[in-house]
Amino acid sequence: MSGIEILEIAHPARLLAFDAIIDVRSPGEFAQDHLPGAINLPVLSDSERAEVGTTYVQDSRFKARLMGAAYVSRNVARHLETVLLEKPGGFRPLIYCWRGGMRSNAMATILSQVGWRTTLLAGGYLTWRRHVTARLYDSELPLRLMLIDGYTGSGKTDVLQRLADRGVQTIDLEGLAVHRGSLFGGLADKPQPSQKMFESRLLSILDGLDPSRPVVVEAESSKVGERMVPPALWRLMTIAPRIELLASPELRARYLVTAYRDIVENRPALDEALRRLPTPPGRKRLEAWGQLADAGAFEELALALMELHYDPAYRRSSRTDGRPSLGLVKLSGLESNDLDAAADEIVRRIEAMSCA
């Protein structure tokens, strides 16, 4: 197409060459997944896209194209008068839609006529998705992983954040999945991203890592909430050496009440989570737990849950865990200074291993 360049491969390094990555798909499509750093300037809204599609199938292809052209023209004009209004003459956008068809071509044609050096992503979003799948499903990741392990409530996520603050390479799977990785791990008013979005975000993190340096990850199951850890990373996690944080049940119970304050303060959510335990509690046990919640005895409730569910599950998995151990880090408390000390100790061990 005259005046429009074509990008064949959606590799993250290639994407850095553009001033903006513009996803012209509908907001609903964009919310499911998109290229890293992309902005959404839809040429059809969700309702307009549905209307055009219905007309195409049930009425007339010509009428659908005419309707779509009118919508696209108005929407592109609005973007030119708002988001794109102050862009300079040297602006370099990359445009894509679902598969590099009519929507992205329409936007690219207009932007190139303005005088901007416009590029189309060949194959659209599907090109990016194939790249993600190849990297996370069909390839081997050249990374040296270390795991932070330990019983529920031992501060693993907080220690992982402190390691990142100290310059250690980390992957925060729970942060990427918007889930704390347990039965009570969902975050109020913060739904998990789609599996595809989770994978796109993860690949962006992986592409920023130095393969010559170790990478620390919190030990997780193969799913974080409803999001699956992609095979390429999960294979490494199943053989990675682990450092275990160790704290008393009482300390962990107190920590959990603070970490899960949103659940503690939402009684319907708490009751629903208790009913979903893999080991179904009987009616009397549920009533007893309800009485603890009514009395505000949440630390006692946390201890009961750890004893019934979390600790036995961790012990069972530990007995069959063939991953090498890098030893224990014992915590005498789970306050900020205790977690800082644990992170410092892990940094020392990482440095010692790197020098060995």
Q: Which one is catalytic: 43, 97, 148, 253?
A: 97
CA-CA distances (angstroms) from residue 20 to 3, 33, 100, 156, 329?
18, 17, 17, 37, 45
The dihedral through the CA atoms of 44, 46, 49, 55 has a sign that is negative
Q: Is 355 a catalytic residue?
A: no
Comparing C-alpha atoms, which of 157, 170, 162, 159 is closest to residue 260?
Answer: 157
Active site (catalytic) residues: 97
